Amino acid sequence: MASAIALRFRSGRFSREFDFGGINLLLNYDEGCRSDCGYCGLARTRPGDYNDKSFIRVEWPLVRTDELVERMAEHEEKLTRLCISMVTHGHAYTDTCDITERIAARVRTPLSILVAPPTLNRERLERFKALGVDMIGIGLDAVTEDLFRNLRTNVPAGGLKWEKYWEVVTDAREIFGPWKVNVHTLVGLGEADEDLIRLFVQLNEREIFPYLFCFNPEPDSRMADHPKSPIQRWRRVQLAKHLIETEGYGLADFRFGEDGNLLHIGGGERLLESVVDTGVPFVTNGCPGENGEPGCTRPYGSYRPSEPFRDYPFVPTADDLAEIRQQLRLDEVLQ
């Protein structure tokens, strides 16, 4: 919906004005996505017609591809990042190649693909790069193999494979290079903080970006009644990930309880306060623009505009930081 507003397909405004240029696209098929993830609004067995289903609880207006490319070319000067999100479907690979070619012929903005691993192999990833794709994203979501199997494999119409997702991560890293691959992780599916932070460290060592998302229950999905992660936990995970990426933190710099949840962050008050003061740990994770600046900011992807920001599509203001500090309760993890 934000992309539709930016490209003038729809009228509307953000609850707080900011520059927006990260255009998110989602493939659409009459028969829908063939996967059945327990938390997803597009899940195959979620009740209702596919056209009435939602993805991350926001509207995705349907537009013609040629008209979309024309609008991108028209508004190119304000675009910072383009992303095509595949779904699990037999035509998704060939259609993504076709759309990529059409975009690359008219628009110079960096292009990412959030891939559907079941539809891909190494040769197909190489084809994406040859077409001009800049970055590859993999929606792992569940950060442990057990969770992945419970939510994405052993479900009514499942079949996604943990091993296949990691095969695509490895191939993409070899083909696209350092910091050109990202792995999406969801906070709140049932994992412990240690599971998340361990994965962040492992990906950082491989020069792969972990992108952070907050589970937001979709009505009528199998996880519709699963609680959202408390915002205090979410803020601490955001901070921990940032420390790993920018301050060289490893697993030994964090202490966890018997349940695997975060009890202590090392480094001392002065360092942590200075990092919090930048506001950057709490900005939306997304692919960068051409010069390394934030390119994809997905406004309101994890919360409603009427709710407190989970991640900010801009650098938080002084008032925002005051609210973040209350949510974070940094003193508790410094003890």
What is the percent of the chain with per-residue pLDDT over 70, rounded to a whole number?
98
CATH superfamily to which 2-334 belongs: Aldolase class I (3.20.20.70)
- Per-residue confidence (pLDDT) for residue 50, from 0 to 100: 67
**262-265/181-187 β-pairing:** unpaired
Spell out where the chain has E strands: 22-26, 81-85, 111-115, 135-141, 181-187, 209-214, 254-256, 262-265
Convert the pLDDT of each residue in 239-275 to its tens digit.
999 999 999 999 999 999 999 999 999 999 999 999 9
**262-265/254-256 β-pairing:** antiparallel
The least confident of 45-54, 80-89, 241-250, 311-320 is 45-54
- Per-residue confidence (pLDDT) for residue 303, from 0 to 100: 80
Convert the pLDDT of each residue in 156-201 to its tens digit.
888 899 999 999 999 999 999 999 999 999 999 999 999 999 999 9
Q: What is the DSSP string of 174-220?
A: HHH-TTSEEEEEEETSS--HHHHHHHHHHHHHTT-EEEEEE--PPTT
Residue 239: closest CA among 203, 195, 193, 202: 193
Domain residue ranges in the chain: 2-334
Distance CA 129, CA 104 (A): 12
Q: What is the mean pLDDT of the chain?
A: 94
Convert the pLDDT of each residue in 138-154 to its tens digit.
999 999 999 999 999 99
Residue 19: closest CA among 283, 292, 288, 294: 294
The least confident of 12-16, 282-286, 321-325 is 12-16
Convert the pLDDT of each residue in 192-238 to its tens digit.
999 999 999 999 999 999 999 999 988 889 999 999 999 999 999 99
